Structure 1
Amino acid sequence: MTLSSSGFLRIGDNDLEYRMIGPQPSEAPTIVMLHEGLGSAAMWGDFPDRLQASTGMGVFVYSRAGYGASTPVTLPRPLDYMTREALDVLPALLDAIGFQRGVLLGHSDGASIAAIYAGATGDHRLRGVVLIAPHFVVEDVSVASIAEIKTLYETTDLRAKLARWHRNVDNAFYGWNGAWLDPDFRRWDISDYLAYVRIPIAILQGEADQYGTIRQVEIAKEECYCPVDVTLIPRCGHSPHREATELTLATVSEFVRRILILHEGSGIRAA
């Protein structure tokens, strides 16, 4: 299929909003971007456009069900919602867009989904995975910060701010927040998937991340047999693409060019 620059894809029972920037997946390698737990296609800002300009690759951005303008989900979310997203939704989405080869780039929850997919499927179309502030296990700091943001959502203008990005803002917020604050979620652990990843991984982690610590990076180093490039960013919190945009853009662009352009000789221009 030929993707419009923006629109909706029907995946299962849900309509998922998307943006397609640059060449079609059938024409060039594609970076598929998976947003954070309170993110959406629009909340990436101009980072996808700048990434496309830097790499020459196609960039596909979408909002998962429950986020942005996509179909809302039934609450409460199941505690294995990220695994379901990786194994049930993402394969269908990649097939629907005609994904031929490229990279998954995920932030926070999106990074966890990307890691699960890479480890569980062995998809030969994937050449690498970029994980920004990933979660592989639940840490105390994560739960404390997520409990704090619940209070802010219910007592400040945070709800109004998020409503600019989500058509069903309560669905987006409580679907994510409720799962992470469920006591049973403390046992959530996807680190086993990492041992089965057979493609290069790049991890970008802010040293001042309020939702996770360097322990997440250490787990990847312990579990992975594949190459793992780590970039620790001083004085940076949970969103390196917003807080350290130039470094994040340069790091991601160099990684994808190295594994796709130089390795495959695809002829895509460098910035």
Structure 2
Amino acid sequence: MSSEAVRIPFDGRQIEIEYQWLRPERVRRPLAVFLHEGLGSVSMWRDFPRKLCEAGDFRGLVFSRYGYGGSTPRPHDEKWGVDFMHRQAREALPALFAALDIGPGRRHGKPWLLGHSDGGSIALIHAASFPDAVDGVTVLAPHIVVEDLSVRSIAVTRETYLTTDLRARLARHHHDVDSAFWGWNDIWLDPAFRAFDLRPLLDNLRCPVLAVQGEEDEYGTMAQIEGIHRYAPQTVLLKLARCGHSPHRDQAGALTAATVAFINTHTSILK
């Protein structure tokens, strides 16, 4: 399926965001919006969004954030701050939803956010900042604080990018692979990023939350999703065995079944 592009205002200028609709004709079914990981894009999701939407009879929206995929690349001299995920959640995502007519009282209605890794953190920030704007959230391996394990693994990824074919493999999914990689890697390895902490926001979550973590995740521990539950007790935890940082690849069947059941239980849009 080919991607489209929409222009939105961000950081005082117009940028292009790559996106794809999935099954848009299912107007009476929930809309799942997929927010990718720190090195992700529309194409990096592969066929998981389509299969999930087919399994749940959902509509879907997949998009590449600023700096990723086919969206406007980050200028190489632009350094992201500690608040880069907050800005995506509070500025870029609302602008995208406005451009695509998503949200309460709009054509496509309230979305259900499904975010992976950094995308999961962005989903949590958005839902906590705009409690009435979403139906619910599913987060896969989200980050609510910076753990030593995360920093160590991201430092290893940096060396892998410099010394193996990782750059070439990622280049298949990004128009400017160095923009995508260094934007993410530089801020995560900046000592200032240790201040990143979503815990003060989490008790503002009002929607249903499904939080998923793999037992073998090399980028985060169970403390991440357990922390969400501590501040937002409505959160349902799903801990997956034989699963690393990408539950949608390592345990796609279990994740799909759990997500479909959770969305169908809590959605405000009826069949």
TM-score greater than 0.5 by the shorter chain? yes
Q: 1:11 to 1:26 in 2, by over 3 A?
A: farther
TM-score (norm: length of structure 1): 0.92
1:6, distance to aligned residue in structure 2 (A): 3.0
Aligned residue type for 1:215: A
Structure 2 runs not aligned, ≥5 long: 103-108
Q: Distance in 2 between matches of 1:96 and 1:26?
A: 18
Range with bigger deviation, 105-114 or 245-254:
245-254
1:222, distance to aligned residue in structure 2 (A): 1.5
Aligned pair 1:228/2:228, yes or no? no
Q: Find the counterpart in structure 2 of residue 61 from structure 1.
A: 62
Which residue among 4, 7, 10 is the counterpart of 1:7? 4
Listed as ranges, the matches of 1:118-137 within 5 Å are: 118-122=127-131, 124-137=132-145
**RMSD, aligned CA:** 1.5
- What count of residue pairs does the alignment treat as equivalent? 259
Q: Distance in 2 between matches of 1:235 and 1:218?
A: 19
1:161, distance to aligned residue in structure 2 (A): 0.5
Q: Distance in 2 between matches of 1:28 and 1:211?
A: 34
Aligned residue type for 2:5: F
Q: What SS does structure 2 have at the residue aligned with 1:126?
A: coil
Q: 1:265 to 1:31 in 2, by over 3 A?
A: closer
Q: Distance in 2 between matches of 1:125 and 1:77?
A: 26
Structure 1 runs not aligned, ≥5 long: none
Q: Find the counterpart in structure 2 of residue 254 from structure 1.
A: 261
Q: Find the counterpart in structure 1 of residue 119 from structure 2.
A: 110
Which residue among 180, 188, 191 is the counterpart of 1:172? 180
Aligned residue type for 1:248: L
Residues 18-62 of structure 1, C-alpha deviation per residue, up to 9 Å, x if partnerless? Answer: 110012596543111100000001111111111111111210000
Q: Find the counterpart in structure 2 of residue 154 from structure 1.
A: 162
Q: 1:5 to 1:153 in 2, by over 3 A?
A: closer
Q: What SS does structure 1 have at the residue aligned with 2:243?
A: coil
Range with bigger deviation, 152-161 or 90-99:
90-99
| Contact 2:226–2:237, Cα closer than 8 Å, also in 1 | no
Aligned pair 1:239/2:246, yes or no? yes
Range with bigger deviation, 72-81 or 231-240:
72-81
Aligned pair 1:141/2:141, yes or no? no
Aligned pair 1:96/2:99, yes or no? yes
Q: What SS does structure 1 have at the residue aligned with 2:89?
A: helix
Residues 252-271 of structure 1, C-alpha deviation per residue, up to 9 Å, x if partnerless? Answer: 111111112xxx4712xxxx
TM-score (norm: length of structure 2): 0.92
